[in-house]
Amino acid sequence: MPAGVPHAAHRAPHSKANAQITACISQSGPALPVALHAFALAKSLNAPVTLLQVLEPDQNAERPDPVEWDLRRHEARRSLTRLAAPPDTSMSRAAIRLADGLIAEEFRRLASDHVGNMLVVGMPQADAPHCRGIGHTVHELLREASAAILLVPPAGGGALPAYRRIMVPVDGSPWAASALPLAIRLAIANDAELLLAHIIPPPELTEIAPYDAADLALQRQVVERNTRAANAYLQKMRQTITQAGIKVRVLTNQGRDVRCALEDIIKQEAVDLVILSARGHGLSANTDMPYGSVAAYLMMHSTAPLLLVPVSLSKRSAVTASAIRNLRMPTLAST
């Protein structure tokens, strides 16, 4: 059995509460979708929820007005109290936490204090259709966090989200496969279909002059080889996960831009949740970035919530040496 894939005997999703879900409620961003997704995760993982809001002082004022500050705190607490009511009567109310100070500093403490837990953060409103910015606060949180982070798009309804179709992009690297245990656990808890998506880009050839027939034939042969390797890898993974009683579907597509191809799958398949490692193949070459180009693109374009699983470079907590050996796809010509 590939490392990182739980056995069917470990499929019980509701053992004891071993995680903490913290929803980071913004003063200006979408609060309700963030709270609802936090409750949805909590229900799936049998975990408690905390609603956190940070009140930042006015940077233009030398000292805050005590009356105005007190009113802000009361209003924030009233809003959090309304959000703390669970949408499902079988769930407990969320705890409420108000903090004063700078959001970036509070999030930095939050990220370092919540190893193994989950944070839920709302993404900023889009500046242009179908595109939004990551934002400095979210970037800093991703850079500091060792916890999984669920990024919630601005749009959202007023009901508890249902994760019926969960997608996991995999590129053959052990880092990408490290998102599978969490995806499997959530799929079991929600009786969801799991989509394993892999995009095969055309191999890059040095282009000094236009490609001739031999160049095109070579490119075609490499694509066919990579397709065979990817299909074998994904089918083996599919068979292993199916043994845990999970509905699994494999999607192997070709695309010049991996990021756009994944975005298209999310839309076409009406994916409810995307779970992926913050880094994939590029981790070995670029260790100074908290997330790769695919994750960065999906953060700005995905219509589905994005659950990022961090890769710890110092502790190697997500990937062990044996996982690297067991989960690696045969090397592709272009990644």
212-254 pLDDT tens trace: 788 888 888 988 998 898 888 899 889 889 988 899 999 988 8
Give whichever of 90-94, 128-132, 269-273 has the largest mean pLDDT.
269-273
Q: Read off the tokens for 13.
A: 């999703």
Domain ranges of the chain: 8-327
Would you say 189 and 45 are in contact if contact means Cβ atoms under 8 Å apart?
yes
Closest CA to 142 of 172, 110, 169: 110
pLDDT at 273 over 80: yes
Q: Which CATH architecture has domain 8-327?
A: 3-Layer(aba) Sandwich (3.40)
The answer to which of 58-72, 165-179, 320-334 has the lowest mean pLDDT is 320-334
Mean pLDDT value of segment 42-46? 92
Residues 157, 140: Cα–Cα separation, whole Å: 28
For 82, counting Cβ atoms within 10 Å of its Cβ (0-12 exposed, 13-18 middle, 19+ buried), the class is exposed
Q: What is the pLDDT of residues 253-262, one digit of tens each?
A: 888 898 999 9
Average pLDDT along the chain: 78
Percentage above 70 pLDDT, the chain: 70
Distance CA 145, CA 107 (A): 9
Q: Are 277 and 265 in contact (CB under 8 A)?
A: no
> Are 124 and 151 a contacting pair, CB within 8 Å?
no
Q: Are 82 and 51 in contact (CB under 8 A)?
A: no
Buried b (16+ CB within 10 A) or exposed e, 35-47: bbbbbbbbbbbbb
